[in-house]
Structure 1
Amino acid sequence: MVTDTDGMPAEEKKRGAFSSRRVFILAAIGSAVGLGNIWRFPYVAYDNGGGAFMIPYIVALLTAGLPFLMLDYGMGHRNRGSAPLSFARISRKGEPLGWWQVAICFVIAIYYAAIIGWASVYAIFSFDKSWGDDPATYFSVDFLEGGDPGISLDFVNGLLIPLVIVWVVLLVIMAMGVQKGIGMLSVIFIPILVVAFVALVVQALFLDGAGDGLNALFTPDWDALSNTDVWIAAYGQIFFSLSVGFGIMITYSAYVDRRENMTGSGLVVGFANSGFELLAGIGVFAALGFIASSTGGDPGEAAQGGGIGLAFIAFPTIINEAPAGAVLGVLFFVSLVIAGITSLISVIEVVIASVRDKFELPRIAAVLVVGVPAAIASVLLFSTTTSLYSLDIIDNFINQFGILLVAVVSMLALAWAFRVVPALAAHLNRNGSLKLGWVWRALVSVITPAALIWVLVDQFRKNIETTYGEGAYPDWMVNTLGWGVAGGVIVVGLLAALIPWRRQTSLEVPEEAPIDQPEEDVR
């Protein structure tokens, strides 16, 4: 193995690395803590048993979230590569799984940037409450200039300009590299995110009606535990919030020193992510309790199903009525921007790292090759009058039938086709404070795939029984941006794997972590 003068393998020094375990942990937390933690978890918990939901949530964390996180860490840290390279170093037959994950990340990046752009504008709007007395109408009519569902090229300047700015900032960060860009951003902004959100929670707790909101969130409905949909919701929430299964943690863990304690880091990341979700639930529902007490409504109804409605309609309504509402608004939307950007850089890094590995490109060249097409696609789809409709469809299908499906397939392939799970456990156990034994192997080989298949089949059944959007979108749009995109990323994965690797790229597993497989399986 060729090494540089400081002892670091030359290949790894060229690719980049996090300078310390602390930087890696902050970057991984930044990836895991995203928009879903703030606007999805509170409503999911409320709608699935309140306080009782914490039982299936914790079970899902321990039996699916953390085990899968360790699996991703083992793949990247042991094989020292992006998702496609890590899979290819196990077996060339597994390489399409890595590119499938890359394609999913590309799709997510193009709409995630749009939401960050919206949140950044709304942070500015918070100062003078630009949305007026009717935030719902302002968001859909004045801000988005929403037209009829369909793919439109009627651009909206209020969406176009912030989206372009987001992409310029993102590409500059990515061009700076793993440590100076991703690592430094995480070191600075994750503490800022925590401070900002704690400040928001404290302010929300002092609002009139905050106690009613917390009662609505945490009052347990024990009957919900007998409802399979509640358990499905718990597994789905844990899975999506931890950024596992679609290449992010494989990519990040490859940037960590070979001697680091990866299982200990995984525990920190997993519990930090869940802790932030709980904090988000407290802050959001304390604020929703305030608006419900003002209008005589219900805190859960005020959330309007979470997501876009919670962020851009319910919270502006709260800001209009709350004392020092401008401060509350700035804290909320700045938190969304920071959580979004730290997640977005991890998503786009999956694509950049994979292109660099495959074609031996310098970092800046890879950033441009990936970033410019992504930015163009993002602008064309999400700065027009039909941006919200496109976002809603793509987000639903790429999450349910992209991320979930590739996670199940890759987990089963690693466990039963390539039989590499014991080798990954052995690698993580070398320096890990948490030793992975037969329980972990059983979880990632049988129990976690079974749970995710359960979630996947349930979602597929619902989408077959009722067309997504229930008639709000034309069928061609659902079929193109929904099923078409979910199927398209699979095709991209298969085609990308046909492109030969550069000769300089070794498909051998690094010597420090030999693989227990026949020679022909790793070439």
Structure 2
Amino acid sequence: MTSSPGAGQAQPTPQAPKREQWSGQVGFLMAAIGSAIGLGNIWRFPGVAYTNGGGAFMIPYITALVCVGIPVLFLDYALGHRFRGSAPAVFRRVSTKLEWLGWFQVFICFFIMTYYAVIVAWALRYTLFSVNTAWGDNAAAFFGSYIELADLSTSGTPAYSIVPVAGVIIPLVIVWVFGIVTIARGVSNGVEKANRLFLPLLVIMFVVLVGRALLLPGATDGLNALFTPDWSALSDHRVWMAAFGQIFFSLSVGFGIMLTYASYLKRRSNLVGTGTVAAFANSSFEILAGIGVFSTLGFMAHVQGVGVGDLEDISGVGLSFTTFPTVISQMPGGPLFGVLFFASFSMAGLTSFISIIQVVAAAVAEKLDVDIPRATVIVGAPAALLSFILFGTSSGLYTLDVVDAFINNIGVVGSTIIMCLAVGVAARQLRPLQRHLNLVSESRVIGAWWRAIIAIVVPALLGTMFVQTFWSYATDGYAYSGAFETIFGWGMLLLVAVVTAVATLMPWRVPVDEFTPLDLDALEEVK
């Protein structure tokens, strides 16, 4: 029988549980690619490229990938791998004054996953609808009979509705059950296995879909519209900002995802190699998506007897849920094409969705000293409830639009700027992180150029985007007027700030500060 320690005896120090690990480099790489390839690759990139110079857009796009995307991805990898923890633990280990930044990223992810789940739920439902083209000749049924979108007021302002949309409930439950169960199973048994299954399926299905799209009448016109370069666009700074924004958001950098994933890697891991492969795989899929989307749009323009430039809804929700259903109804073999498209769309969304949950669950598990299954339920239950309340109602699309714009364009961009300046300038951690990247990777290619990009170039470029966007939202608003935008835009950012402060002030139940990073001198001798 074990007796309790007496009053004069020292209490045992709680020990942090042994950290999970990926089964290997390939498992991590597939998870990283699965996270990066998401909804934005399919419904955002083609429209952004088309409206920003077509083929000429590839110059600022590749420049942004090399000069911002990959360097910031390396920063996330280095932070997670060197300090081996969730975002709050990592930034606290960098400096005790920076824990709040980790929680800021965590709660950005928390609110992103509440609406991201809804978009994936729409895609799941439309996968079934595609079997018999359930929307009939009315592709606009998505806004009407499916999500039952409420009308705007005469002033253009939406009103929040508590009325749930019946058709969204079941697929949304499926999405949340999948996400919670996958994360609760752990990194190797849950996240890695899901990506090993879905990522190859996604690629195979999307390649088949693109191959079919290329054979459609008018496909060439669509590709010409996408890739014909408008060289004059290169003199427009907004085109360059659009390229940096696309790379930044599509790589899942700057808000804890890649940092958290890298923390589960083994001590000796080829960070530079896997980061480069993941970045170029993501961009390759975006270009593939552009080819598929614009081949399909070319067919639609051919059927309607108009130019591709005269089509509406070539990006975002309209592209996926009204334009594509219209094409599916008009093309030979449309149902199969529709199933391929929406199933691919769903899988791309699910692999990204679980990566977002992982950020939040890992942070809560470490802070509260609970296991991952319990932490997943702690964060998943309220997030799922918010999904239904905020985005599963007849005003859900308006709410989603505003929250997404403010969280991403202000919250995520601001987070990355602060991360680069805090780590690079305030904490002066770039030299050891540079050395860490070189020593654990197969080649030493990270030099002073990387430190300059992180500490100077990225804050300058993203700072320009941030100031322009912040000023525009503050003076002209985003897309709506009145209290709706104030509550769900600025109000959501304020809520993120409040819960960030609360979580930061809560005590850790494990000694998170008692951590020794990898001995670089010893690693140098071995290498």
TM-score class, shorter-chain normalisation, is over 0.9
Does structure 1 residue 39 correspond to structure 2 residue 43?
Answer: yes
1:32–1:273 contact (8 Å) kept in structure 2: yes
Letter in 2 for 1:435: V
Change (3 A) 1:108 1:507: farther
Aligned mate of 1:98, from 90, 98, 102: 102
- In structure 2, the residue matched to 1:71 is 75
TM-score using structure 2 length: 0.93
Is the partner of 2:89 in helix, strand or coil?
A: helix
- In structure 2, the residue matched to 1:126 is 130
Aligned mate of 1:454, from 464, 468, 471: 464
1:43–1:300 contact (8 Å) kept in structure 2: no
- In structure 2, the residue matched to 1:497 is 504
Change (3 A) 1:54 1:434: farther
**CA RMSD for the aligned pairs?**
1.6
> 1:509 deviation in Å?
3.6
Change (3 A) 1:23 1:75: same
- In structure 2, the residue matched to 1:262 is 271
Range 155-164 or range 224-233, more displaced: 155-164
1:41–1:277 contact (8 Å) kept in structure 2: yes
Gaps (5+ residues) in structure 1? 1-9, 515-523
2:437–2:446 contact (8 Å) kept in structure 1: yes
Letter in 1 for 2:195: S
2:101–2:415 contact (8 Å) kept in structure 1: yes
- In structure 1, the residue matched to 2:306 is 297
Distance 1:19 1:29 in 2: 16
Is the partner of 2:144 in helix, strand or coil?
A: helix
Instruction: For residues 419-443 of structure 1, give each alpha carbon's deviation from its aligned partner in whole angstroms, at most 9, with x where no partner exists.
Output: 1111111111102235211011100
Does structure 1 residue 487 correspond to structure 2 residue 494?
Answer: yes
Q: How does 1:10-159 map to 2 (within 5 A)?
A: 14-136=18-140, 138-148=141-151, 149-159=158-168
Does structure 1 residue 467 correspond to structure 2 residue 477?
Answer: yes
Letter in 2 for 1:98: G
2:147–2:168 contact (8 Å) kept in structure 1: yes
> 1:241 deviation in Å?
0.2
1:38–1:281 contact (8 Å) kept in structure 2: yes
Is the partner of 1:335 in helix, strand or coil?
A: helix
Distance 2:206 2:520 in 1: 41
> 1:475 deviation in Å?
1.4
> 1:474 deviation in Å?
4.4
Distance 2:299 2:15 in 1: 55
- In structure 1, the residue matched to 2:250 is 241
> 1:160 deviation in Å?
1.3
Hey, which bits of structure 1, 4+ residues long, moved more than 4 A? 10-13
Is the partner of 1:143 in helix, strand or coil?
A: coil
2:16–2:511 contact (8 Å) kept in structure 1: no
- In structure 2, the residue matched to 1:318 is 327
2:92–2:513 contact (8 Å) kept in structure 1: no
> 1:22 deviation in Å?
0.2
Gaps (5+ residues) in structure 2? 1-13, 152-157, 522-527
Does structure 1 residue 440 correspond to structure 2 residue 450?
Answer: yes
1:164–1:379 contact (8 Å) kept in structure 2: no
- In structure 2, the residue matched to 1:343 is 352
> 1:305 deviation in Å?
4.7
> 1:513 deviation in Å?
5.3
Distance 1:250 1:371 in 2: 20
Letter in 1 for 2:439: R
Range 108-117 or range 168-177, more displaced: 168-177
Instruction: For residues 395-438 of structure 1, give each alpha carbon's deviation from its aligned partner in whole angstroms, at most 9, with x where no partner exists.
Output: 11111011011111111111111111111111111022352110
Does structure 1 residue 384 correspond to structure 2 residue 382?
Answer: no
- In structure 1, the residue matched to 2:3 is none
1:235–1:455 contact (8 Å) kept in structure 2: no
Q: How does 1:155-170 map to 2 (within 5 A)?
A: 155-170=164-179
Letter in 1 for 2:458: T
Letter in 2 for 1:367: T
Instruction: For residues 300-320 of structure 1, give each alpha carbon's deviation from its aligned partner in whole angstroms, at most 9, with x where no partner exists.
Output: 443515110100011001101
TM-score using structure 1 length: 0.93
Change (3 A) 1:387 1:94: same
Letter in 2 for 1:72: D
Is the partner of 2:94 in helix, strand or coil?
A: coil
> 1:15 deviation in Å?
3.2
Distance 1:459 1:301 in 2: 28
Letter in 2 for 1:436: I
Distance 2:312 2:15 in 1: 49
Larger radius of gyration: 2
Instruction: For residues 107-144 of structure 1, give each alpha carbon's deviation from its aligned partner in whole angstroms, at most 9, with x where no partner exists.
Output: 000000000000000011011111121212x0111001
Letter in 2 for 1:143: Y
> 1:463 deviation in Å?
2.2
Count of aligned pairs: 502
Percent identity, aligned pairs only, is: 50
Is the partner of 1:497 in helix, strand or coil?
A: helix
